[in-house]
Amino acid sequence: MKRKTTQQKQQQPQQQQQQVQTTKKTKNTSASSAPTQTSKKQQQPKQTKDNDKNKRPKKKKRMSQSDNASEDGSSYETYDSNEEDVYEGEVDEDGERHGHGSLYTLDGFIMEGEWVHGTLNGKGSLIYEDVLIEGQYVDGELSGHCSEFTLEHVLTFEGEYVSGERNGKGVLHNIDGSRIEGVWTDSILSGECTFYYPDERFTIKGTWEDGEFVKGTAGTTISEFPINIDTNVVRDEGTSSTISTNPTLPDLFEEYYLYVKESNIPNSGEGLFAKVDIPADRLVSYYNGMRIDPKIADDRDWEFNRNTMYLDKETYIDIPPEWSTSDKYCASLGHKANHDLNNNTVYRSCYHPRFGDIKCVRSIRAIAKDEEILVNYDYEEKDKPQWYKDLESSRPEGQPAQRN
């Protein structure tokens, strides 16, 4: 039984704090809000010639080295001024920005680098909200090879810029360890691209349009792995009424790593097992389903919420009871992982070209071949079903609760 509607604590590994996805309608790039970056336009701020170095902008926040330090130990500051742009740095004899300096703009940008008579030219950086871009400025705009990071200096994108926007070849790095290699036009991912699963051994090569996957073909570099399923893949994001257009088409990645059989936990039905050894800190399985309003799940009987998973404040992922067995739905298998406080996996956010932004099951230690995949449902008190409460009350001290 599963009603995983509580928001899981997203303690991501240090090198995976940034979620980068492939839709195109948000400007937020924070890890916790599952940001989108395939089409975000990096608009350059207007470079005014205000040289009053005596005016300090109002401090909005200072980021400590421990929380937001780069690899070299430096930290970043962001400022908010309700007066005017502020420049700190070297100037020429005419008072124009010349040499190394930083410009704090009224609309929240921080531009740092080498200035030539009032205009950035050469190596520099741009910070806006929680995105750091490092690269080359040409006549005040980022052009050439650039890299994008979180403020913790976790790489999220690297590729070509022209006139302040992604234009040309690039690589998008996702929080789950996967990546997309493709071509951007005016900051929008389109054309022939390749999605690499986190293990680097499986791919989906296909077509993206307007920042979203359309169709492609799954493949693998594992020559000894026999492919016995249809490898044609189309975008198949669940809706409020449809779980999948092809609910029994397995994912090639999961087909290699996992299998389903009766759980080792009594009265738990089907369970999820490792077909091969799986390393620690590795994406194990995807958790896709229908998209429903949280109010629907909150208002109905718990029996209908056995496979309901928090996605975000506005959306739950749901696998209704009629789709819960693997003969009905096996397009993703994350919902087959049963509960155990001695878990070997946790829930995390992820991206999959076929399903879009979903949840996944990720290993927290090495998992041996034929070992059952187990996850702690970690219910909040208000969401605990009766079976979970019964297990808690009947469990001897120090012994974990076990049951689906």
Catalytic-labelled residue, pool 76, 256, 287, 379: 287
Exposure of 138 by Cβ count < 10 A (0-12 exposed, 13-18 middle, 19+ buried)? middle
Indicate the length of the chain as a whole number. 404
179 and 26 Cβ atoms separated by less than 8 Å: no
Catalytic-labelled residue, pool 339, 351, 352, 379: 339
Told to judge if 352 belongs to the known catalytic residues of this protein, a careful annotator would answer: no
168 and 159 Cβ atoms separated by less than 8 Å: yes
Angle in degrees, CA 202, 207, 212, rounded to 5:
95
DSSP for 134-200, please give it: EEEEETTEE-EEEEEEETT--EEEEEEEETTEEEEEEEEE-TTS-EEEEEEETTEE-EEEEEE-TTS
Beta bridge partners of 170: 159, 182
375 and 361 Cβ atoms separated by less than 8 Å: yes
Told to judge if 339 belongs to the known catalytic residues of this protein, a careful annotator would answer: yes
Catalytic-labelled residue, pool 335, 351, 352, 379: 335
288 and 352 Cβ atoms separated by less than 8 Å: yes
Dihedral sign from CA coordinates of 113, 118, 121, 125? positive
Beta bridge partners of 91: 97
Catalytic-labelled residue, pool 347, 351, 352, 379: 347
Alpha-helix runs per DSSP H in 196-287: 252-257
Q: How far apart, in whole angstroms, are the C-alpha atoms of residue 72 and residue 132?
A: 15
Catalytic-labelled residue, pool 104, 137, 377, 379: 377
195 and 6 Cβ atoms separated by less than 8 Å: no
Told to judge if 329 belongs to the known catalytic residues of this protein, a careful annotator would answer: no
Residue 221: closest CA among 238, 200, 240:
200
Residue 1: closest CA among 266, 263, 268, 359:
268
Q: How far apart, in whole angstroms, are the C-alpha atoms of residue 226 and residue 243?
A: 28
24 and 210 Cβ atoms separated by less than 8 Å: yes
Told to judge if 259 belongs to the known catalytic residues of this protein, a careful annotator would answer: no
Told to judge if 76 belongs to the known catalytic residues of this protein, a careful annotator would answer: no
Q: How many CB atoms lie within 10 A of CB 207?
A: 15
Residues annotated catalytic, as ranges:
287, 335, 339, 347, 377
